[in-house]
């Protein structure tokens, strides 16, 4: 609560959260109705592919070569948890008949010349059809599910991402994937700017640095989206539970 | 993938990436509402400590933004001023995010004016945006492409909000971005610092005003060596 008495004001770390809850949040919530049901809600899984999730490939191999063994260990532990939770989300969303969108970093050329120089520099690119562009085993797309290849952090930076979701009639996104502070955060910010309702599934995301994961989730929660964990989303999905109420389910 | 083997491919455009004709300074939301209005709202809610901290940070960045803008003007670098402003009288054209937190001033209102200390000069471009990230709610991309801009120098308010959103959008669209960290401010130093850390790792070259002025000085002297050896582009892994 925002208090009128400065002596009982919350610590600065919580100020933005206090600003949004509950006054601003009540304004926000009154302006929308976004149940987690077909046909307007979709699960968006971001970069759950070998390049970013397989410790032996892509990012992991590069980090290991650079001597970041500790970091590699931490990150892939988090990725394993995120992938397990994403698998639960995927099953629940399929059961409830929600649209599922799989997006991955995948480019058209062998040498990545169609990738921006920044992503190229990071090594965050993989040729479409290559091993590194493959989705993780339990998270394979089914034939009728949308697969969106990208060469950018944000799903919405390419015009196509926004347009395909609009064509599907999607206005609510259940978002999960890697990495929290890069592609996931860019996508969540853009989604909010473009008017989507987003639930970020915190424990189905991972970042190189746990500290950045937490900070990113906290900040997105203040302004850009709702945050919930897998358990809550799995319980709410398919029910007429509003985005803003998911955290209160189960 | 071997790092040594991939080094060349990871740096497809070596050499200086700061050239006056292809660079713009983009100052974000240093407008009356962000500098004065928000603070008043929070002060009214009794959160004086936070507001005082924010006011102090804003007071520190204004002279830095002023120097950066003047230096860019001298070099013929385009200075572009972004602001949160709606195109209607009641803000109904703003993104829902902006409407929900009442950032809906229309272009003609005092809240939307760039503050005097860093005000536009002559025919400099002032762009109204209706979203946090400028690439989602303004024609910034179109304007930059028409001007032939490839590199952005970014300053303004608030770091983890509109600044970070705009920088993320710029890097995805292929612009090289310098974020001048001490010419940006946020409500709390914690949010400011975390934001700069993430931007520096993935999206932009984070520098301070002094360093940026040094690069601009090298540009003036046409010192190619200083420019190609100085600025470090973001690369992973960089873990603080």
Does position A125 have pLDDT exceeding 90, yes or no?
A: yes
Instruction: Decide if A223 and B101 are in contact by the 8 Å CB cutoff.
Output: yes
Query: Which pLDDT tens digit goes with each residue over A162-208?
Result: 999 999 999 999 999 999 999 999 999 999 999 999 999 999 999 99
List the single residue in A with minimal CA-CA distance to B102: A24
Residue A161 maps to a domain? yes
List the single residue in B with minimal CA-CA distance to A189: B165
User: What is the DSSP track for A144-157?
Assistant: TSEEEEESSSSTTS
Percent of chain B with pLDDT over 70: 91
List the single residue in A with minimal CA-CA distance to B94: A193
Q: How many other CB atoms sit within 10 Å of the CB of residue A7?
A: 7
User: What is the DSSP track for B90-119?
Assistant: S-TTS-HHHHHTT---BTTSGGGSBPGGG-
Highest mean pLDDT among A112-116, B109-113, B161-165: B161-165
CB A18 within 8 A of CB A2: yes
Q: Which of A43, A167, A190 is nearest to A103 (CA)?
A: A43
| A contact test, residue of B41, B42, B47 with most A CBs within 10 A | B47
Q: Which residues in chain A are closer than 8 Å to B234, comparing Cβ atoms? A: 118, 121-122
Q: Decide if B181 touches A, using CB distance below 8 A.
A: no
Q: What is the dihedral of CA A85, B168, B161, A184, to 10 degrees?
A: 0
Instruction: Decide if A68 and B237 are in contact by the 8 Å CB cutoff.
Output: yes
Q: Distance between CA atoms of A197 and A63, rounded to whole angstroms? A: 34
User: What is the DSSP track for B190-207?
Assistant: HHHHHHHHHIIIII-EEE
CB A204 within 8 A of CB A82: yes
List the single residue in A with minimal CA-CA distance to B141: A157
pLDDT in the model for residue A49: 98
pTM for the model stands at: 0.87
Q: What are phi and psi of B51, to 5 degrees?
A: -65, -40
List the single residue in B with minimal CA-CA distance to A116: B174
Query: Which pLDDT tens digit goes with each residue over B159-175?
Result: 999 999 999 999 999 99
pLDDT-derived band at A228, boundaries 50, 70, 90: very high
Q: Distance between CA atoms of A50 and B55, rounded to whole angstroms? A: 46
| B contact test, residue of A11, A117, A221 with most B CBs within 10 A | A117
Residue A116 maps to a domain? yes
C-alpha distance from A123 to closest chain B C-alpha (Å): 7
Task: Give A108 or B230, the one with higher predicted confidence.
Answer: A108
Task: Give B99 or A221, the one with higher predicted confidence.
Answer: A221
Q: Decide if B44 touches A, using CB distance below 8 A.
A: no
Residue A250 maps to a domain? no
Instruction: Decide if A65 and B49 are in contact by the 8 Å CB cutoff.
Output: no
Mean pLDDT, rounded, for A139-151: 96
C-alpha distance from B179 to closest chain A C-alpha (Å): 15
Q: Decide if A196 touches B, using CB distance below 8 A.
A: no
Q: Is the dihedral of CA A131, A132, A137, A142 positive or negative?
A: negative
Q: Distance between CA atoms of B155 and B158, rounded to whole angstroms? A: 9
C-alpha distance from A13 to closest chain B C-alpha (Å): 7
Query: Which pLDDT tens digit goes with each residue over B51-68?
Result: 788 889 999 999 999 999
ipTM above 0.90, yes or no: no
Q: Which residue has the tokens 């915190």?
A: A202
Q: Which residues in chain B are closer than 8 Å to A5, comparing Cβ atoms? A: 46
Q: How many CB pairs under 8 A join A and B?
A: 171
Q: Decide if B221 touches A, using CB distance below 8 A.
A: no
Does position A233 have pLDDT exceeding 80, yes or no?
A: yes
Query: Cα angle vertex B168, ends B239, A224, to 5°?
Result: 100
Q: Distance between CA atoms of B40 and B34, rounded to whole angstroms? A: 10
Residue A166 maps to a domain? yes
Residues with Cβ within 8 Å of A75's Cβ and at least 6 positions away in sequence, in order, are A60, A63, A206, A207, A208
Q: Which of B149, B124, B172 is nearest to B23 (CA)?
A: B149
Residue A72 maps to a domain? yes
pLDDT in the model for residue B164: 98
Count: domains in chain A: 1
What are the helix (H) ranges across chain B?
3-10, 32, 38-44, 48-75, 96-100, 134-137, 140-147, 164-172, 189-198, 209-220, 224-229
Q: Decide if A30 touches B, using CB distance below 8 A.
A: no
Q: Decide if B161 touches A, using CB distance below 8 A.
A: yes
A103 to A43, A128, A131: CA distances (angstroms): 11, 12, 15
pLDDT-derived band at B236, boundaries 50, 70, 90: low
Q: What is the CATH number of the domain that holds A130?
A: 3.40.50.850
Q: What is the dihedral of CA B95, B98, B104, B106, to 10 degrees?
A: -50
Q: How many other CB atoms sit within 10 Å of the CB of residue B186?
A: 24
Q: How many other CB atoms sit within 10 Å of the CB of residue B190?
A: 17
Range of the domain at A119: 2-245
């Amino acid at each position: 609560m925002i208090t009128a008495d400065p002596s009982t004001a919350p610590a600065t770390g919580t100020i933005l959260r206090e600003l949004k809850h509950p006054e601003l949040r009540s304004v926000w919530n009154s302006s929308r109705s976004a149940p987690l049901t077909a046909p307007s809600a979709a699960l968006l899984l971001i970069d759950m592919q070998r390049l970013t999730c397989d410790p032996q490939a892509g990012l992991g191999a590069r980090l290991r070569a650079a001597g970041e063994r500790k970091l590699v260990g931490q990150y892939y532990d988090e990725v394993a948890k995120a992938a397990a939770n994403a698998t639960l989300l995927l099953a629940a969303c399929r059961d409830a008949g929600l649209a599922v969108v799989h997006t991955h970093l995948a480019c058209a050329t062998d040498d990545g010349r169609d990738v921006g120089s920044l992503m190229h520099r990071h090594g965050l690119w993989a040729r479409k059809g290559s091993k590194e562009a493959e989705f993780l085993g339990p998270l394979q797309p089914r034939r009728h599910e949308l697969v969106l290849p990208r060469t950018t952090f944000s799903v919405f930076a390419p015009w196509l991402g926004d347009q395909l979701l609009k064509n599907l009639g999607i206005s609510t996104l259940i978002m999960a994937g890697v990495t929290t502070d890069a592609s996931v955060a860019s996508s969540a910010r853009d989604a909010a700017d473009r008017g989507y309702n987003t639930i970020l599934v915190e424990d189905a995301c991972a970042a190189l640095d746990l500290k950045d994961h937490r900070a990113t989730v906290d900040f997105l929660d203040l302004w850009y989206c709702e945050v919930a964990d897998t358990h809550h989303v799995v319980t709410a999905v398919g029910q007429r539970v509003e985005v803003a109420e998911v955290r209160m389910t189960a | 993938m071997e790092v040594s083997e991939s080094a060349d491919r990871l740096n497809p455009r070596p050499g200086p990436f700061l050239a006056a004709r292809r660079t713009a300074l983009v100052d974000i939301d240093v407008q009356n509402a962000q500098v004065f209005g928000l603070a008043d709202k929070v002060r009214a809610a009794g959160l004086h400590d936070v507001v005082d901290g924010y006011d102090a940070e804003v007071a520190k960045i204004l002279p830095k933004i002023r120097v950066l803008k003047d230096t860019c003007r001298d070099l013929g670098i385009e200075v572009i001023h972004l602001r949160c402003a709606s195109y209607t009288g009641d803000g109904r054209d703003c993104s829902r995010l902006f409407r929900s937190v009442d950032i809906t001033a229309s272009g003609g209102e005092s809240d939307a004016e760039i503050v005097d200390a860093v005000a536009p000069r002559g025919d400099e471009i002032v762009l109204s945006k209706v979203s946090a990230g400028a690439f989602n709610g303004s024609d910034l991309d179109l304007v930059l492409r028409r001007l032939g801009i490839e590199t952005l120098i970014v300053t303004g308010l608030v770091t983890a909000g509109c600044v970070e959103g705009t920088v993320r959008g710029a890097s995805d669209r292929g612009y090289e971005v310098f974020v001048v960290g001490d010419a940006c401010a946020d409500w709390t130093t914690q949010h400011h610092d975390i934001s700069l850390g993430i931007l520096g790792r993935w999206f932009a070259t984070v520098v301070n005003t002094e360093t940026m002025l040094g690069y601009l000085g090298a540009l003036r002297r046409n010192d190619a060596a200083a420019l190609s050896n100085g600025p470090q582009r973001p690369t992973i892994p960089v873990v603080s």
